[in-house]
Every structure is written in structure tokens, then in C-alpha cells.
Amino acid sequence: MAGSSFFALLDDIAALLDDISLMTKVAAKKSASVLSDDLAVNAEQVTGMKADRELPVVWAVFKGSLKNKAILVPCALILSAVLPAAVKWLLMAGGLYLCYEGFEAIKDKFSRSEHGAKGQGKKALPKTPEELAAYEKRKVKGAIKTDFILSAEIIVITLNVVAEAPLYQQILTLVLIALVMTIGVYGLVAGIVRLDDAGFALAKSKAQGMWGRAVRKLGEVLVSAAPFLMKALSWIGTVAMFLVGGTFIAEGIAPLEHVIEGWVAHSGSWEAVAKLVVFGVVGAVAGGLTALVVGGFSWVRARATG
């Protein structure tokens, strides 16, 4: 009797793990686009560090991301049970913040480019240990803020997948997705920011023969490609802010989403691309308008206090 009960328990556990595995796969597939944006944005956020500080910065953001998800998972479960409508509005607010950050990043890139061309007015880079520490702290704080918003979208997508499942399966699936996504994203980010070091190590390989030449050539390619990859990721991360933020905003406003669906309905096989472009435009416009409002408030406050 005890033996049959034990095997029945094992069967229940196996069925539970199978259900959780299936829901985790579905949730991961549905959140893949946000995950790719998360990777690009976070790689962009931690660029610009000194070589010996890149991994400590990634580690700091990784720990911040785990804390974000430790907050988001229970909050998402509570909100979905008590006030489901609040989730949509919070995502829209987060999307607006992402669009604003993207607009500010674009403005900063063009500002640096213009100053560099003129050879004047260039913003001083941090040099002293105190300035470097403050700069690093700002970068980490900014990356964790951005991660919070992107993580919220991943958690909400996962929650929608497991909405009909029992509570314990929802919790286990959300925790599993949170851990796998965080480890995966920041493992890749760590690899990307240290790509040049890997290239240098391969380029100095002492291996002989054709294999040795191939390894050294690969190292040279990685060293040459690393700066271009980091620059590309910087722009991809910025564009991703508009895409993700614009998607949050458009999907949160039913009439706007309906209009967009009507626009892209005639795009044929390009419908998905057209929709993404329109969401990006929505994000860019929302970011620009938010920047104007924030700038206006700052100007009024400066006049009032001055």
C-alpha cells in the first residue's frame, strides 16, 4: 500500500514537472522578442566601462535583475488576482519611460557626434577614481531600471501563458522563467563585453599548423569586430527601447492598436515587419513628447527656483 502510494506520488511529481516544462517552453517562445531586446539594451547599458570593470558591472546588474524579478513575480501574481487592469497601465507607464530613455539616448549620441565634429564643447570623461565610481554607479542604476521594465513584460507574458494553471504551477513557472532568462541574458552580455579579450587570447595562441593559424585568424577577426559589435549593440539597444516601449503603449490603447492593425493589414507577408515599424514610430513620438514635457517642467522649475 505504502509502495503504491509512493509511486503514485512520483507519477504526480512527474506530471507536474512535465506541465511546468511545457508552460515554460511556451512562455519562453512568446517572450523571445522581448528577451532579444533585453539582451541588446543591457549590453548597450554596460558599454563604456574600463576593461577591468566590465564584468563587475555585469555582475552588479545581474544581482539587480534578480532583485527586480524577486519583486515582480509576487507583485504580478497579486495584481493579476486583485486588480488585473493595473498591470496594463503599469506596462504602459514603463513603456513611456523606455521611450523617453531611448529619445534621450539618441539626443546624447547626436550631441556627442556634433561636439566631436566641432572639436569643442565635448563632455569631460570621468578620470579620477571618484568620478569613475560615480559614472559606474549611474550606469548600473540605469541598467537595473531598464531591466525592471523589460523583466516586467517577460513576467506578464509568462503570467498570461499560465493564467489558467493552478497557483503553485504559476509560481514555479514564473520563478523558473525568471532564473533562466536572467542567467541567459547576463551570461551572453558578459560574453559580449569580453569578446575583445577572447580575441586577444586567441590571437596569441601558440598552436602550430593550419589549426593554429585558423585560431589566430579568428582571434584577429574578433578583436577587429568587437568595437563595431559594441557600437551596433548601442544603436540596437536604443531602437529596442522604442520598439518595446511603443508596443506597450500601442497595445495598451485599444483604439490606437485597432488603427495600427488596420494600417498593416494590407502588408501581406510583411505585416509583422510593418507592425514593428509602426510600433517603433509610436515609441519615438511618445519618447519625444515625453522629453518635451520633462524639459518643460525642468525649465519652469529652474525659473521658479532661480
pTM metric for this prediction: 0.68
pLDDT tens digits along 169-219: 888 888 888 888 888 888 888 887 777 778 888 888 887 888 888 888 888
Q: What are the extents of the domains in the chain?
A: 2-305
The model's confidence at residue 63, banded by pLDDT at 50, 70 and 90, is very high
Integer Cα distance of 50 and 302 in angstroms? 35
pLDDT tens digits along 10-52: 444 444 455 555 555 555 554 554 555 566 666 666 666 666 6
Q: In terms of C-beta density within 10 A (0-12 exposed, 13-18 middle, 19 or more buried), how is residue 255 classed?
A: exposed
- pLDDT value at position 6? 40
- pLDDT value at position 12? 44
- pLDDT value at position 48? 60
Question: How far is the first Cα of the chain from the last one, in angstroms, to the nearest whole number?
Answer: 83
Which residue would you say has higher pLDDT here, 111 or 60?
60
Residue with cell 509560481: 171
Residue 283 clears pLDDT 90, i.e. is over it:
yes
Which residue would you say has higher pLDDT here, 64 or 101?
64
Integer Cα distance of 243 and 278 in angstroms? 9
174 within 8 A of 76, measured Cβ to Cβ? yes
Of 271, 270, 268, 269, nearest in space to 260 by CA: 271
CA angle (60, 101, 78) in 5-degree steps: 65
Ordered alpha helix ranges (H), the chain: 2-30, 32-45, 54-82, 84-118, 129-161, 167-193, 195-203, 209-252, 254-264, 271-305
The model's confidence at residue 230, banded by pLDDT at 50, 70 and 90, is confident
- pLDDT value at position 147? 84
Mean pLDDT of the residues in the chain: 77
Torsions phi, psi for 278 (to 5 deg): -65, -40
144 within 8 A of 70, measured Cβ to Cβ? no
- pLDDT value at position 286? 94
The model's confidence at residue 120, banded by pLDDT at 50, 70 and 90, is very low
Residue 155 clears pLDDT 60, i.e. is over it:
yes
Integer Cα distance of 68 and 206 in angstroms? 44
- pLDDT value at position 116? 56
pLDDT tens digits along 135-144: 788 888 888 8
Q: In terms of C-beta density within 10 A (0-12 exposed, 13-18 middle, 19 or more buried), how is residue 150 classed?
A: buried
The three cell numbers locating residue 73: 513575480
CA 221 from chain centre, in angstroms, equals 27
Residue 65 clears pLDDT 70, i.e. is over it:
yes
- pLDDT value at position 139? 81
Average of per-residue pLDDT across 51-64:
82
Residue 129 clears pLDDT 50, i.e. is over it:
yes
Integer Cα distance of 107 and 113 in angstroms? 10
The three cell numbers locating residue 122: 565635448
Average of per-residue pLDDT across 43-62:
74
